Chain A
Amino acid sequence: MSARVRGGLFHAALLVSVAIGLVLLATLLVDVLRKGLPFVDGVLLTSPPSSDPDRAGARPAILGTIELMALLLVMAVPLGVGTAIYLEEYADRERWYNRLLEVNIQNLAAVPSIVYGILGLAFLVRGLGLGRVLLAGAMILTLLVLPILIVASREAIRAVPDSIRQGAYALGATQWQVVSRQVLPAAIPGIATGSILALSRAIGETAPLLLVGALTYVSVNPTLFGDFTALPIQIFQWIGRPQENFHSLAAAGIIVLLGLLLTMNAFAIWLRNRYEKNW
């Protein structure tokens, strides 16, 4: 078999792989859109759930998801980026505790999310006495996505060429000035990407939230220290109902979820582009 033929076959195999992924995704999307688009309306967005599918909405769930994501942003990003900065710029690699930290972070990314749920139940809900509240849900999601954020941020920080740091130090900048004025701005595109990954992972998490106390039927808007639910849970609950309309509502819920996800991603991409143009 000549090199050219082999090259051609390889190219074809690549195209097939891409096609499989795209076709599957397209099928799922089309199915969801077909079932759910007619049901995406004001009722869905503004009404609380009800046993009557015509009156049921997902307002508490939507608000719950939005609030969880907002809390995640506020808690996880500073923690994750801060840890990454510490590990990359300040920590002495030789010290045992820093090495321990590094190994642990890599392990944490692989832990199944249900384990986080159990952790949350034991330490946050019962141990700290927070109870089954939104804050607990947000905190556990934070822990879940932290490893992703830390790894992505570290990669972004590491990607900043050392020559930039050397140049800044040589001008008389302090370590903090070098980090805040050169390294971080240059790493923002990577950090933004990492945040997208983290939020995208978290938005769909169901198991840990359930363990920490998300309810399947919540009719009031979620508050920080009150009962709460999230969109994936609401969708799960509707799928379980026998009525066909609830299934369509579930599809509609999925569309809303995707919409939220795309909005978040768009924002992060905008942020990345804004900082990337200087390169």
Chain B
Amino acid sequence: MSETHPNLVRIERTATSSDPPLSAEAVFDVLDLRVSYNGKAALQDVSLQVYRQNVTAFIGPSGCGKSTFIRCFNRMNDLIPGALVEGTVRYHDRDLYAPDVDAVEVRKRIGMVFQKPNPFPKSIYDNVAFGPRVLGMTGDLDERVEEALTRAALWDEVGGRLKESALSLSGGQQQRLCIARCLAVQPDVLLMDEPASALDPISTTRIEDLMHELKRDYTIVVVTHNMQQAARVADRTAFFSVDVDEGGHRTGVLVEYDLTEKIFTNPSDPRTEGYVTGRFG
């Protein structure tokens, strides 16, 4: 037994952990956000701030509006007919929903990775190159593709076969490809909507390690239904829950938002405690 497990072997001392202290610069400032679909409220009165170079996680039971919320950050809710976003979402002090703001510009800077990996039915190269091409980015495309794939920890595996179909990759590789696709347009923020829930545990761990590396250069917001994942990767965690009114109508509300350590060791709200301990779903 003592030969196999790394912790039963003397651990070589490397430099002590030098993670930078948690940044306090706000990238997003959300105030009184309300989202409704066809007149029915889905998310109520959310206010919080997302900080730079942090991983911020949104957790909560299904139907609590966390996916709806994350889509507000890059105006993807615009694509849903009948969706109405009220309140303010400020990105570096600019109101994202101001009438003169172009959603395309927003999405250039704020990228998104989806739950089910969605590579385009094209080659690996063309997938990563799609963003720079449609945005008219100048510069060496080959370099951009290689850099993006390297940052997404995928270059070693696909560098020699960029012309092959993206659909020939495994699930975990496809998801990293989607991440590379986002990185290729050099965003500021990465939004991840349950990025690992369709993947096996090993691929999940790789994605989590990747998040930890990427947060040095990007601000990351992740929605996850796996609260242990939030505990592992996030610096700050927001817990959402479902409010049921007298009419039986369900709306999502923000219950607690704090440093992850606090949420998982001593949360302030009993609802948070109930959720993280698994006593209520």
Contact = CB atoms under 8 A, between A and B. Distances in A.
A171 B79 contact: no
A164 to B, nearest CB: 6
B114 A163 contact: yes
A42 interface: no
A174 interface: yes
Contacts of B181: 167, 171
A174 to B, nearest CB: 6
B120 A161 contact: no
Interface string A66-90: 0000000000000000000000000
B112 A174 contact: no
A163 B178 CA distance: 12
Contacts of B134: 168, 171-174, 177, 181
B121 A170 contact: no
Contacts of A106: none
B199 to A, nearest CB: 16
A166 interface: yes
Q: Size range of the interface on B?
A: 20 to 34
A173 B185 CA distance: 11
B271 interface: no
B178 A167 contact: yes
B185 A171 contact: yes
B266 to A, nearest CB: 37
Among A167, A181, A182: residue with most chain B CB under 10 A: A167
A272 to B, nearest CB: 14
5 contacts: A167-B118, A168-B130, A169-B107, A174-B134, A177-B134
Contact of B120 (A92, A93, A167): A167
A-B residue pairs, 7 tightest by C-beta: A163-B118, A170-B112, A172-B107, A172-B108, A171-B131, A167-B118, A173-B134
B114 A171 contact: no
A8 B76 CA distance: 53
A172 B74 CA distance: 10
A279 interface: yes
Nearest to A178: B134
Given A172-B185, A181-B130, A166 B121 contact: no
Interface of B: 74, 76, 79, 81, 104-105, 107-108, 111-112, 114, 116, 118-123, 130-131, 134-135, 165, 167, 178, 181-182, 185
B108 A279 contact: no
A149 B178 CA distance: 34
Given A92-B81, A167-B178, A279-B167, A172 B118 contact: no
A174 B182 CA distance: 16
A270 B122 CA distance: 19
Contacts of B112: 170
A171 B111 contact: yes
Contacts of B185: 171-172
A51 interface: no
B116 A169 contact: no
B107 A171 contact: yes
Nearest to B75: A169
Among A94, A161, A163: residue with most chain B CB under 10 A: A163
A278 B122 contact: yes
A94 B134 CA distance: 30
Given A163-B114, A163-B116, A167-B178, A173 B104 contact: yes
Given A181-B134, A278-B165, A169 B118 contact: no
